[in-house]
Amino acid sequence: MGGFVDGIETYLGLIGWRKKCLYTLLLLLMLLIITNLALTLWIIKVMEFSTDGMGQLKIVPGGIQLSGQAIIMDMLRASTIRSRHGQPIAIESSRNFSISTRDPNGMLENHLFLGHDKLECLSSGFRINDTNGRNLFSVNRNEVTIGAHALRIDGEGGAIFRESIQTPHVRAEPGRELRLESPTRQLELTAAKDINLQSRAGGIELLALEDVKLRALEGSLRLESSKILMPNLRTAQPPIMGSAQSRDHLHRVFQLCACSNGKLFLAAPHSICAGDDSTVCR
């Protein structure tokens, strides 16, 4: 490089070690540029960048489209997640999976947590409908509603209700017994019209430690059967002793009597239908 200083022509040049340092610096810059360009091209090739997106992740009108599997390292926020038409969608987590919704103020409104051996749902109400929109199961703080045709409980212990239940029909599976039991409290059946206890292939047994009361306030109490058995009634007076045939006959036939308090007892067929208050009528 040449120039004039105070009318004297001078020349400037890089010689010696300065020139070598400059060329070395330029060479290093060129190598760095080439390396960056090569790495950029390699990343573009590996990540499969294109004008439509990145690899299996494509940008489509209204969102993004992913073909294959994706690993979410942190939180995912989306308004809609759906699969292709006719293709399933699977969501997997190594520890737990949570879904949350918030109100316009940002407060937590609903939360679904799927963790180790448990599924937790935080919501003011829970509802399951069928494909026609009919309610199958719904629960809130006040009540639990089951809209299916029948509620089936397969556990050996049956169902335990701490409060009263309301249902129009209670039945057991064919060939199995139905048992209604209250171990420490009373069992009460009430209805606005009729109560029908029916056993089509077996018997009906009422068992209580103390009293079993059948009471009709306005109607009558009817026992319609060809056989009515009361084997443990007390006998007021012993049968009159006679011949062996008479004794056998008397042992088979008795009078059915009633006390003033309504208690039934037996009496000999040819005796007076009366009993001692201290024995049979107390």
Q: Which two tokens stand for residue 247?
A: 């004794």
**Residue-averaged pLDDT of the chain:** 80
**Residue in 200, 272, 184 with CA at minimum distance from that of residue 236:** 272
Confidence band (pLDDT; 50, 70, 90) for 7?
A: low
Asked whether the predicted pLDDT for residue 206 surpasses 50, the reply is yes
At 241 the pLDDT is 52
Asked whether the predicted pLDDT for residue 205 surpasses 70, the reply is yes
At 11 the pLDDT is 59
Dist. CA 204–CA 197, nearest whole Å:
8
Q: What is the largest CA-CA distance in the chain?
A: 173
3-state secondary structure of 26: helix
Q: Exposure of 273 by Cβ count < 10 A (0-12 exposed, 13-18 middle, 19+ buried)?
A: middle
**Residue in 254, 262, 259 with CA at minimum distance from that of residue 276:** 259
At 117 the pLDDT is 87
Confidence band (pLDDT; 50, 70, 90) for 239?
A: very low
Q: Exposure of 265 by Cβ count < 10 A (0-12 exposed, 13-18 middle, 19+ buried)?
A: buried
For 156-176, what is the mean pLDDT?
A: 78
Which residue intervals of the chain are DSSP H helices? Answer: 17-47, 244-252
Say which residue, 92 or 134, is predicted with more confidence: 134
Domain boundaries, the chain: 2-54, 230-282
Q: State the DSSP string of 48-70.
A: TB-SSEETTEEEETTEEEE-S--
Confidence band (pLDDT; 50, 70, 90) for 114?
A: very high
Residues 6+ apart with CB under 8 A from 212: 206
Residues 6+ apart with CB under 8 A from 132: none
Q: Exposure of 104 by Cβ count < 10 A (0-12 exposed, 13-18 middle, 19+ buried)?
A: exposed
Q: Exposure of 109 by Cβ count < 10 A (0-12 exposed, 13-18 middle, 19+ buried)?
A: middle
Residues in the chain: 282
3-state secondary structure of 246: helix
Question: Are the C-beta atoms of 81 and 89 separated by less than 8 Å?
Answer: yes
Sign of CA dihedral 260, 262, 263, 265: positive
